[in-house]
Amino acid sequence: MPSSSSKAESDPYKLVHDEMAVLCSNIRNELGTNQGDLGTITHYYFDGTGKAFRPLVVLLMAKACNIHQRAEDFLAESQKKIAMITEMLHTATLIHDDVIDASDTRRGKESINYVWGQRKAILAGDYILSIVSSVLARIGNTEVVSIMSQVVEDLVRGEFMQLGSKEDKNERFAHYLNKTFKKTASMLAASCKSVAVLGQCSEEVSNTVYQYGRNLGIAFQLMDDLLDFISSDLQLGKPTAADLKLGLATAPVLFASQQSEGIEQTRLLATEHTKEAIRHLRKLTTSVPQEALISLTLKLLQRQK
């Protein structure tokens, strides 16, 4: 049985505490702007109260890759920027999603579109995306630019897939999983691959951590859709059953439509994807950051918010 000290060593947040502590302030510095509402709105969600799950995963993966490649967990500035880019990209999509879904709350407070209106919300999301492009270009690695640029394309395609539907019952679940990859998993997969590339890892390792991020992202979204049915608004910090109200088919609904236990089947599928994520992760050299990622992956299944 692992000792309490070894558990502390592999605590995900403690391992990258310094980088996570300055994440939001670094993002606000990048966003800059004293232009009235634009600065206020674009800084609104970068207040340090969010989970910041994605940058946490990216920073831990960067350390795990660096140990695998060079036996040291030093983080390059370019790898830190990928973590920052990931959080900015994610936040921009939340702002746009809330406009599309007409959501009035986000992260336990009033949403940007509710406070400032749809037009300013759309422009704020666009502005954050423009800064993402600038930060990405400054990294100066064309392969990473290509990898991360694909995320933006996937996000838009995924949103269009969500707005559409498949009449053929046999195609609905494949449509849902493809949409889930594009809207959620693509970002984690690409970010993990990018920090591996920046850590000078081999193509094999880069593809391995891509598959980790892909499976982690799908499991994360499956649990998110599950919580949309079984949690309260207060727990999640956003309206629950929102997808159902919008007529969007998520895993619990699709399983239920096939006369199976929707909630339990969704949890089982999420479990399978976490197992697959961990299988890929174990191909890296054993290290404290790797163990922290395994712990973080397993904790997805106990999510309450």
Angle between helices 77-101 and 186-198 (to 10 degrees): 170
Residue 14: per-residue pLDDT: 93
Question: What per-residue confidence (pLDDT) applies to 131?
Answer: 97
Residue 262 reports pLDDT greater than 80:
no
**The CATH classification of domain 13-301, taken from the options 1.10.600.10, 3.30.70.3270, 3.30.365.10, 3.30.56.10:** 1.10.600.10
**Rounded to whole angstroms, what are the CA distances from 76 to 62, 135, 191, 227, 296?**
9, 15, 14, 36, 22
d(Cα 79, Cα 26) in Å, to the nearest integer?
14
Which range in 34-48, 183-197, 252-266, 290-304 is most confidently predicted, on average pLDDT?
183-197
Confidence of residue 240 (pLDDT cuts 50, 70, 90): very low
Least confident of 6-15, 144-153, 191-200, 284-293: 6-15
Q: Residue 229 CB: number of other CB atoms within 10 A? A: 18
| Max CA distance (Å), the chain | 56
pLDDT of residue 185: 97
* 109-110 and 105-106 strand pairing: antiparallel
Find where tokens 């921009």 sit: 92
| DSSP type of residue 74 | P
Mean of the per-residue pLDDT values for the chain? 87
Which residue from 82, 66, 71 is spatially nearest to 26, judged by alpha carbons? Answer: 82
Residue 248, pLDDT > 80, answer: no
Amino acid at site 252? P
The pLDDT value given to residue 38: 94
The tens digit of pLDDT for each residue in 160-204 reads 988 876 556 667 778 888 999 999 999 999 999 999 999 999 999
